[in-house]
Structure 1
Amino acid sequence: MPTSFDVLIIGSGQAGNPLATSFAKAGRKVVLVEENFFGGSCINYGCTPTKALLASAERAHQIRTAAEYGIGATELTVDFAAVMARKNQIVGEMREGTHKNLTEEQPNITVLHGHAEFTGPHSVRVTLDDGSSQEVEAELIFINTGTHAATPDLEGLSDIPYFTSTTLLDSPELPEHLLILGGSYIGLEFGQMFRRLGSKITIIESHAHVLSREDDDVCDAMQQFLAEEGIEFVLGARAHRVAKDADGKLTLTLDTEQGEQQVHGTHLLVATGRQPNTGKLGLEKAGVALDEKGYIKADDDLLTNVPGVYALGDVKGGPQFTHISYDDYRVVRDAILHNKRRPAKQRFLPYVVFTEPQLGRVGLSEKQAQEQNITYKMASLPVKTIGRARETGHTTGFIKVLVNDENHIIGAAVLSEQGGEIMTMLQLAMAGNLTCDVLQNMVLAHPTWAESLNNLFAKLAPPDEA
């Protein structure tokens, strides 16, 4: 007979874990099923390991450029094994902390380590690691299984070893020349990271710009400073074949407007998107509807077409960020436990590309404002004019804001040192409905990055005059 629970959570991600704790504290009997590592993508192959590696890469860059600050430095060496060991320690500690919280601190939570597959709308068979199985059922089921790296239809790819953004995090060696297929934020972060650690980098992107969803001025500035660090770009190019020669060298054949082109390297990172982890869940037996890409369809309350079954985080499609997944947890927690409904679509969508300098984004881009026929004024401030930037030497980038007719901020792009933090200040102003006049005249400590907001809005003008 199945074991009955009040709540079943499939996946130990950034929505599932806190949700399990909240239900347990409310007296509900919870079972959480995890097939792989505790903590989901963020802890295991997303935010935590990549930002740990970026920190090592940043230290290497600081040593390499120390002479610009009048500091003599010995010859730079990178102990790649030690870099990876530091990352692994941080990941392991966070993974263990998550496991401890679920298994030791909450008596109402049962953790099963194995693969979950639906046998009906509210029943699941869990195949445990030891090969045995257990049937569980619950009235409330939350699917938080995330995504995995997409594999493009590329001739020869199945015949060669290649990296994804997950497997590259466990590489035993520093690539000599890393070809990166895809110019999204994943490709750019990995590109700068491994370039600073000592690899040669070539990024291949099918669009005319990297970060193709951003405004052209943002894309161009991002590409320029990465190129100045020695990263090569091949844009408007579609890969159609990859091959490995007898010496282990890779050749990627591309279709471009100028004709066929070849690029050569020693390793390949495929960073061309993500796919949902829904194929082996038996969702058809539960009657849960999927979209054409395999993501679970969910409404504004994150409820699927099956009553009592919810989809949280990346598996439901849309923006794939840890903070969105965590907010999914808050949406369903408040609705079910506190009777406070807040549609998931009624929220800000901030995000940061963790290159150096960072790109912090919130609200509308100029492209989006124009597509929606929204009238706006725009202000742009070069980072090099900020006192804090000149003092620290971090002068690359610019800050751009869009303001509506009522002087409220409707969007911002901050390509700057501490770009994510500056963007968050603008997001707080948006959430508090502050006008740009308030920020322009606010007394802000000198010399700080925040002080740039005093000067930024003085440049407001219609977009054709800014």
Structure 2
Amino acid sequence: MVERQYVGGTCINVACIPTKSLVASARWIRDARTDSLFGVSGTQDATINLSALRAHKEGIVDAMVDAHEKMFSAPGLDFIRGEAQFIADKTVEVATEDGNSRTITADRILVNLGSRPLLPPIDGLADSGAWTSEDILRLERIPETLTIIGGGYIGVEFAQIMADFGSKVTLIADTEHIFPREDADAAAEVAAGLKDSGVQILYSVRAEKVTGHVGEAADSVSVHLSDGTQVHSAALLVATGRVPNTDQVGLEAAGIDVDDRGMIIVDQYQRTSADGVWAAGDSADTPMFTHASWHDFRVIRAQFDDEDTQFRSTTGRNIPYAVFTAVELARIGLSEKEAVESGLAVRIAKIPANAIPRAKAMRVQHGLWKAIVDEHTDKILGVNLVGPQSGEVFAVIHFGFQMPEEKSP
């Protein structure tokens, strides 16, 4: 195994785990500030201790990295720190961190390269000191004002976190609603929760130019928008997606094909165009979730173990996911929009979250539970839960999706 940077990968070091650690802190302070609604007093003045917040995040990350490093010291595993490059078919050259070089040839190679933040070609952005979704995790400060470019999952989640931490956040979305992959009604409920947290969302505008530089003053950096207006803030976060790290390892030397986005092309068994080479995770166009990458691994391991692959492929798999905002969103299967665009006749079962008695007791204002159902077969094609703790409740929905369909007698 060769690793050039992060033991444990993107999730543990600069994505899921540190982000969810901050989500947990944000939830505590958000709840503290609204406790008076439930008859609790004395917590409304809760504040952030930045050094303790960093220690909380880093302690969790460090413990998980340490656990992975211990696994990599297992007998029979040669763990190498360095950068690998394909130099020929099934042949890799590794520049090790101690300055040496090794050439490795193998009958079977697994490529799991991960991804990095995408920086769009916006005039002036590169010189503005803008943060990426990895930079902001260092938590050097909580800016008084923050502009976020990107209305997708990453941008929205950080908008919630930073608003809860005390920043005045403006979110720039170049689409008609946040989460362009989601149905508009679901996205609107999350947006309503963001608004309650003080986040301003600008829709259907593009960032065309950036002037100034990230600093302490409230107008340190300015984003010039396609409608002629400007947004000024102390800090700027760019959250416009991630790109695969496939441009750095000489894939062409091994005959490994990529698509026009740089994603490694694989079949339902994660096999690449090169015989004996498999790819997994972000760089193989797998949905960018750790549980999806783990499933890639199981599909590949079944082949390495010479198991019957009949039940081990990515064909037809449903990947559940959640976004951890104040009004959480969780989904599996098709959205209503995707089902209709696929030509399916569907009916929609939907209930507002604030109509559920338990939600009323929690003073829930925003959210919905929604199922997309095939009109002809009654099969549930997709489920969307939007509201507090949807990510937890959704485990039951996911379990149901894994159950075999009942056959009529």
Q: Does the alignment reach a TM-score above 0.5?
A: yes
> Alignment RMSD, CA only?
1.5
- CA deviations on 1:47-80 (whole Å, 9 max, x unpaired) are 1000000100111111110111111124222112
* 1:257-268 correspondence runs (5 A): 260-268=228-236
1:408–1:433 Cα contact (<8 Å) kept: no
Is 1:402–2:372 an aligned residue pair? Answer: yes
Q: Give the corresponding residue for 2:41.
A: 72
- Aligned residue among 407, 418, 429 for 2:389: 418
Q: Give the corresponding residue for 2:328.
A: 358
Partner Cα separation in structure 1 for residue 83 and residue 4 of structure 2: 5
Q: Give the corresponding residue for 1:301.
A: 269
Partner Cα separation in structure 2 for residue 369 and residue 375 of structure 1: 8
Moved over 3 A (4+): 245-248
Aligned residues: 399
Q: Give the corresponding residue for 2:337.
A: 367
Q: Structure 1 residue 338: deviation in Å?
A: 4.0
Partner Cα separation in structure 2 for residue 300 and residue 430 of structure 1: 20
Q: Structure 1 residue 391: deviation in Å?
A: 2.2
1:117–1:282 Cα contact (<8 Å) kept: yes
Q: TM-score, normalised by structure 1?
A: 0.83
Q: Structure 1 residue 138: deviation in Å?
A: 0.8
The DSSP-based 3-state class of the residue aligned with 2:26 is helix
* 1:133-282 correspondence runs (5 A): 133-244=101-212, 249-256=220-227, 260-282=228-250
Partner Cα separation in structure 1 for residue 330 and residue 236 of structure 2: 28
Is 1:113–2:81 an aligned residue pair? Answer: yes
Q: Structure 1 residue 345: deviation in Å?
A: 2.6
Partner Cα separation in structure 2 for residue 344 and residue 379 of structure 1: 28
Q: Structure 1 residue 115: deviation in Å?
A: 0.4
> Given residue 427 of structure 1, which amino acid in structure 2 is its aligned partner?
H
Q: Structure 1 residue 85: deviation in Å?
A: 1.2
Q: TM-score, normalised by structure 2?
A: 0.94
Q: Give the corresponding residue for 2:29.
A: 60
The DSSP-based 3-state class of the residue aligned with 1:109 is coil
Q: Structure 1 residue 395: deviation in Å?
A: 4.3
1:313–1:328 Cα contact (<8 Å) kept: yes
Q: Structure 1 residue 357: deviation in Å?
A: 2.3
- CA deviations on 1:309-351 (whole Å, 9 max, x unpaired) are 1110000124211111000001011122142212213211211
- CA deviations on 1:268-315 (whole Å, 9 max, x unpaired) are 110011111011101121121111111111111111110001110000
Partner Cα separation in structure 2 for residue 281 and residue 430 of structure 1: 38
Partner Cα separation in structure 2 for residue 89 and residue 225 of structure 1: 30
> Given residue 40 of structure 2, which amino acid in structure 1 is its aligned partner?
I
1:402–1:411 Cα contact (<8 Å) kept: yes
Partner Cα separation in structure 2 for residue 143 and residue 211 of structure 1: 30
Q: Percent identity?
A: 35
Is 1:347–2:309 an aligned residue pair? Answer: no
Q: Give the corresponding residue for 1:122.
A: 90
The DSSP-based 3-state class of the residue aligned with 1:349 is coil
2:280–2:286 Cα contact (<8 Å) kept: no
Q: Give the corresponding residue for 1:34.
A: 3
Partner Cα separation in structure 2 for residue 344 and residue 318 of structure 1: 10
Partner Cα separation in structure 1 for residue 67 and residue 113 of structure 2: 20
Q: Structure 1 residue 434: deviation in Å?
A: 5.8
The DSSP-based 3-state class of the residue aligned with 1:212 is coil
- CA deviations on 1:99-130 (whole Å, 9 max, x unpaired) are 10111xx2010100010111111111111111
1:81–1:172 Cα contact (<8 Å) kept: no
2:122–2:208 Cα contact (<8 Å) kept: yes
1:178–1:200 Cα contact (<8 Å) kept: yes
1:240–1:253 Cα contact (<8 Å) kept: yes
Single out whichever of 211-220 and 340-349 deviates more from structure 2. Answer: 340-349
Q: Give the corresponding residue for 1:452.
A: none
Q: Give the corresponding residue for 2:16.
A: 47
1:149–1:275 Cα contact (<8 Å) kept: yes
The DSSP-based 3-state class of the residue aligned with 1:110 is coil
Partner Cα separation in structure 2 for residue 406 and residue 395 of structure 1: 34
- CA deviations on 1:184-218 (whole Å, 9 max, x unpaired) are 01011100001001111000011111101111111
Q: Give the corresponding residue for 1:11.
A: none
Q: Structure 1 residue 422: deviation in Å?
A: 2.7
> Given residue 226 of structure 2, which amino acid in structure 1 is its aligned partner?
D
The DSSP-based 3-state class of the residue aligned with 2:63 is helix
Unaligned runs of 5+ in 2: none
- CA deviations on 1:228-247 (whole Å, 9 max, x unpaired) are 21100111111111011696
The DSSP-based 3-state class of the residue aligned with 2:163 is helix
- CA deviations on 1:72-91 (whole Å, 9 max, x unpaired) are 12422211221111100000
